[in-house]
Structure 1
Amino acid sequence: MNINMKLSTLLLAAALPFSAVAKDYTLKISMSVGEKDPMYAGSMVMKEAVESRTDGKLKIEVYPSGQLGSMEDIQEQAMFGENVAALTDSGRLSVFSKEIGVIGVAYAAKDYQEMKRIVETDVFKGWEQKLEKEGLHVLSFNWFQGSRSFFTNKEVQKPEDLNGLLIRTPGAAVWSESVRSLGATPTALPWAETYPAMQQGTVDGFEAQLPAVISGSLQETVKYVAETEHFQLMTALVVSEDWFRSLPQEYQTILTEESYNAGNYASEQANAQIAEYKRIMQDDYGVKFVAVDKTPFIKNAQAVFKKLGYEQEYQQLQQALK
């Protein structure tokens, strides 16, 4: 290329909008749940929308079932500027913004609608922004994976029935302390290892949401579900703050909007399919659902707010909801 041609190319690029000459970008979304889970479906909706609106300049790759590694590893990669996104929970994020962990305490919200209101408050949004100083950026915190209950091979009706049972749970303190307060002995284990752990008797049960159980075929390993609904699992899609800021402003807007839209879609799918998931487990696998009295479980969980220093944050959220 001669000097005149090079000059013409530079002048043309300068005259075009930035988005028209922007380079291609790729975001790799990682999640622990499998392809049958509504969260995967939501991510695929996001992929289609983002790629359409950016004419394929911003590509989305979705990796289910922990293919890229643990959520902790993905979060760390994002903190160092990698082009990865983690569909992660408040417990894991509380390491970097302690206040966010309050919604991971058992019975922090009574149901999906209340949890959705909580994460949309200005108080909670302020806690999200603290993550940016740690290198993490929340695209949206509206991916509801479902209400978590106890899945065991022993019938559980009250907290005392969980005594002595080793229950798989994520490793964050808000999760483990909540499960301990409800009567069980928590043990941290990657979600992908839960099925073999149940088969081998390494653990006595696990606590999880129905979509993830069906997606991972874990209904094959249990006889009972104690419907404690102790966690309302609202999760976030989190990316690298540096990587996000490297995008053209137009792409930042698109990615944020479509993450929020996809989170709503995934949440709607999760809620809509609960009845069918229960039917499958009851009719096809003979699993018994136990409608427990939640009162003693709720009472026991209150101690966790004090133990982990979340009393003030909990009150702030309750005030914000009024």
Structure 2
Amino acid sequence: MKKLVSVPFAMLLGVSVALAGCGSEEGSGSGSEGDGAEKIKLIAAHNQTTPDTPYGVGLDKFKEVAESESDGNIEVEVHEGTIGTEESELVEKLKLGAADVVLVSPGFMTQTGVKEVDLFALPYLFDSFDHWEQVVDGEVGEEVASIVNEKSNNDFKIVGYWSAGVRHFYGKKPLETMDDLNGMTIRTQTSGVVSDFWKQTGAVPTSVAWGELYQALQQNVVDSAENAYPYFVAQNHHTTKNGKYTTETAHDYTTRFLLVNGNEFDKLTEEQQEIILKAADASVAAEREALYAQEEEYKEKAIAEGAEVSEIDTAPFVKIAEPLQDAAAKDMGVEELLQKVRDLK
């Protein structure tokens, strides 16, 4: 679909704090000595329960590379929605040591006090996957990783940037112009910049749990929603009364953070750290490749099953989004980073 660029291994090493060779400690990352090499076990988790997601592909690749490169001395146990279906749960488990590698969105990172990461959640920040990759794989991604590490006191360390696809509008009718959103309820964030954006389009942001959204669309509880093809089609939202029409607004090229606990990471040997970073790098490439393929696959599936897909002039939407971006960046203190993102378009 788009060119695949994984997070540079050198960049990941660059955002690491000083490597330490102190061996494993007790906890989820500890193990036992067998053939003379230190053995550790890592718990890796994401919140999706649908089979065969890009998240699953990415963590499976992480497991494969970590175990192979360590000759089995690093064991990775992958949990797909089994130790938490809410990202807040996974963040807390990572901080407390009950998980070692987790995947979370910028919104949940802001809840930990690192508000700068919400830059990546601004509507229409990116205009293509190529643009997104240039940002997260370059100087901006490196700076954000450093901010997260520093402001979390090393509790959270970004070791890779994944995507959850590009989000579009889907609802009970197609959008021919932005005016078609007037008074329409949409399942999305109900506070913050995302909410403000949809309000300014004329829509009414409404809170509905993801697990309840199929029924809400089917029973006319909510008029519409917004998400990426691999996620809303996998949940059959396109087959509901109020989910049949997808309009490709492409308002959010999503970012997800692959995190480890930096303090626990620093307790590992230099060799173990390098293997984990190499596994993270491989997981980035695998997850993106799977996601880009599924973007097309699930779009075609939706159309084949009766959904109708249309395009729309996004210029009026962008016109609303840009001043919101400016105000949010000023509030977060990341005006320079926002300009760097824009300069890469």
Q: Deviations over 1:196-245 (max 9, x none)?
A: 33234332222111111233232222210010000001211112222322
- Other-structure match for 1:87: 103
Instruction: Report the alpha carbon displacement of residue 136 of structure 1 after superposing the two structures with TM.
Output: 0.8
Report the aligned-residue RMSD: 2.6
Partner Cα distance (1:85, 1:171) in 2: 29
- Other-structure match for 2:122: 105
- Other-structure match for 1:138: 158
- Other-structure match for 1:151: 170
Instruction: Report the alpha carbon displacement of residue 170 of structure 1 after superposing the two structures with TM.
Output: 4.8
1:51–1:314 Cα change, 3 Å:
same
- Other-structure match for 1:6: none
Is the 1:47–1:61 Cα contact (8 Å) retained in structure 2? yes
- Other-structure match for 2:17: none
1:250 aligns with 2:274: no
Q: Secondary structure at the match of 2:45?
A: strand
- Other-structure match for 1:57: 73
* Number of residue pairs aligned between Structure 1 and Structure 2: 303
More moved, 155-164 vs 143-152: 155-164
Instruction: Report the alpha carbon displacement of residue 111 of structure 1 after superposing the two structures with TM.
Output: 0.6
Partner Cα distance (1:61, 1:168) in 2: 34
Instruction: Report the alpha carbon displacement of residue 43 of structure 1 after superposing the two structures with TM.
Output: 1.7
Is the 1:88–1:235 Cα contact (8 Å) retained in structure 2? yes
Q: Alignment partner for residue 209 of structure 1, among 228, 232, 257?
A: 228
1:260 aligns with 2:284: no
1:229 aligns with 2:250: yes
Give the alignment of 1:20-39 within 5 angstroms.
Answer: 20-32=36-48, 34-39=50-55
Q: Deviations over 1:126-154 (max 9, x none)?
A: 2222222411111101x122110011122
- Other-structure match for 2:26: none
Partner Cα distance (1:63, 1:167) in 2: 31
Q: Alignment partner for residue 187 of structure 1, among 206, 228, 231?
A: 206
Partner Cα distance (2:200, 2:48) in 1: 25
- What are structure 2's unaligned runs of at least 5 residues? 1-32
Identical pairs, percent? 25
Larger radius of gyration: 1
Is the 2:48–2:55 Cα contact (8 Å) retained in structure 1? no
Give the alignment of 1:118-137 within 5 angstroms.
Answer: 118-132=135-149, 133-134=151-152, 135-137=155-157
1:302 aligns with 2:302: no
In the superposition, the TM-score normalised over structure 2's length comes to 0.79
Partner Cα distance (1:19, 1:289) in 2: 58
Partner Cα distance (2:301, 2:133) in 1: 27
1:23–1:302 Cα change, 3 Å:
same
Q: Secondary structure at the match of 2:221?
A: coil
Give the alignment of 1:282-301 within 5 angstroms.
Answer: 282-284=303-305, 286-301=306-321
Q: Deviations over 1:248-289 (max 9, x none)?
A: 3222222222222222222122212333322211122x1110
More moved, 75-84 vs 146-155: 75-84
